[in-house]
Structure 1
Amino acid sequence: MRKELNIHEWSRKEHFNFFSKFSEPFYGITAKIDCSTAYKKSKENGYSFFMYYLHKSLKAANNITAFKYRIEGDKVYEYDVINASPTINRSNGTFGFSYLDYHEDFNTFCDLAAPRIEEVKNSKSLMPALSGENVIHFSSLPWIDFTSLSHARHYDFPDSCPKISFGKMTTVDGIQKMPVSVHVHHGLADGLHVGQFFEKLQELMDFDD
C-alpha cells in the first residue's frame, strides 16, 4: 500500500523541487558499522551473515520514513513497506538482481527469500521476475574494504530508490567492522535521515533479536 503526499503542503517542498532538477540528484555517504555482535550471533545460530545484515538493514530502512518515499511521475508516494532488491552472486562469477519481500521476523524473511535466491542462482537472467518502486537496491562487495563507492546510473531513468552496499568485514583490535554505503535522492532525504538510518542499523546489529 502507498499514499500520495501533498507536495504543496510538504515541509520538504522546496528541497524536493530544488534537488529534483539536478541531473544527478543522488548523493552517497559511507560509514563503518560495528558488526561484532551480529557476526557472532550469526555464526552461533548457523545464520547466513549476509541474510542477517540484509534483514537488519531492511528493518532499519522501514523505520525511517524518508527511506519509504518514492517519486513516480510528478508525484511523491510513501509506501507502507519497503522490500529488498539485492544482487545475488552466482558460481560462474556473474550475478543477478533479486526481489525479496520484507518480513519483520528474520526466520520468516529467510524462508520467503530462499526460493527466490535459488531461482536467481540457477538463472542466466540479470533482472528479477518481480520488482516494484517500493524496494531498496542492495549489493555486497565482500572482497573490498571500501571507503567510498559510486553507482552506474542511467540519468534519463526516473529513479528514486535508495541504494545500499556492504563491503568487506575486517577485524581491528578485536572489533569487527564493515563499510556500508548509502545513496539516496536528495529531494527525498538529507544527511539527517541517512544518519538516522545508520543509528538504527547499528542499534539493530547490536541488540535486535
Structure 2
Amino acid sequence: MKQLIDLSTWNRREHFEFFSGFDEPIYGLTAEVDGARAYTRAKELNLPFFQLYLHATLRAVNQVEALRYRIEDGAVYCYDRINVSATLTRPDNTFAFSFIPFTESLADFGEGLRAEIEAVNQSTGLRLNENAARTDVIHFSAIPWIAFTSLSHARHFQRPDSVPKISVGRYRRQGNTLLMPISVHVHHGLADGYHVGLFLEALQQALDSPA
C-alpha cells in the first residue's frame, strides 16, 4: 500500500521541487557500522551473516519515513512497506537482480532469500523481469571483497530514479568491533543527511538486537 503526499501542504515541497530540477539529484554518504553482535548471533543461529545484516537493513529502512518516499510520474508517494531488490552472485561470479519481500520474521525472510538465491543460480543474465522495475524496494548490493571508503553507482540520467541504493563492503576487526562500510545513496528531494543519520542509527540498533 502507498499514500499520495499532498505537495501543497508538505513541508518538503520546496526541497523536492528544487532538487528535482537537478541533473543529478542523488547524493551519497559512506559510514561504518558495527556488526559484531549480529555476526555472533548469525553463528549461534547457524545462519548466513548476509541474511542478518540484510534483514537489519530493511528493518531500519522501514523505520525511516523519508526512505519510504518514492517519486512516480512526478508525484510523491509514501509506501507502507519497503522490500529489497538485491544483487545476488552466482558461482560463476556473474550477478542477477532479485526481489525479496520484507517480513518482520527473520526466519520467513530467510526463506524468501534462499528461494531467490536458488532462482538466481538456476538462471542466466540479469533477470530483468517485472520485479526489477518495482519502486517499493531498496537496491542493495554486498561487495565483500573491498573495504571501500566511498562508492558511486552507474546511473541513467534520462530515467528518473528515487529508489535508495545501499551497499555494504568488506568488514574489518578492530578490538571487539566488526566494522562494516556502508554506502547510502538517496534522492535529495526526498531525504537529507539527517534522514540518512536516522537510518544509520536504526541500522546499528537492528544489528545489535534480535529481530
Please tell me the TM-score bracket, short chain as reference.
over 0.9
Map 1:1-209 to 2 at 5 A: 1-131=1-131, 132-209=134-211
Deviation at 1:113?
2.5
After superposition, give the CA deviation of every residue in 1:21-72 in whole Å (9 maximum; x if it has no partner).
Answer: 0010000011000111000110111111111100000110001000100000
Q: Kindly indicate whether the alpha-carbon contact (under 8 Å) linking 1:142 and 1:169 is maintained by their aligned counterparts in 2.
A: yes
After superposition, give the CA deviation of every residue in 1:151-186 in whole Å (9 maximum; x if it has no partner).
Answer: 000001111000000000110223211000000000
Mean Cα displacement is larger for which, 27-36 or 119-128? 119-128
Q: In structure 2, how many angstroms separate the alpha carbons of the residues matched to 1:208 and 1:201?
A: 12
Q: Secondary structure at the match of 1:155?
A: coil
Q: In structure 2, how many angstroms separate the alpha carbons of the residues matched to 1:125 and 1:6?
A: 40
- 1:178 maps to a residue whose letter is M
Total equivalences in the alignment: 209
Deviation at 1:125?
2.5
Deviation at 1:127?
2.7
- 1:42 maps to a residue whose letter is A
Q: Secondary structure at the match of 2:206?
A: helix
Deviation at 1:128?
4.6
Percent identity reads 48
Q: In structure 2, how many angstroms separate the alpha carbons of the residues matched to 1:104 and 1:129?
A: 26
- 1:192 maps to a residue whose letter is Y
- 1:103 maps to a residue whose letter is T
What is the TM-score when the length of structure 2 is the normalising length?
0.96
Q: Kindly indicate whether the alpha-carbon contact (under 8 Å) linking 1:138 and 1:165 is maintained by their aligned counterparts in 2.
A: yes
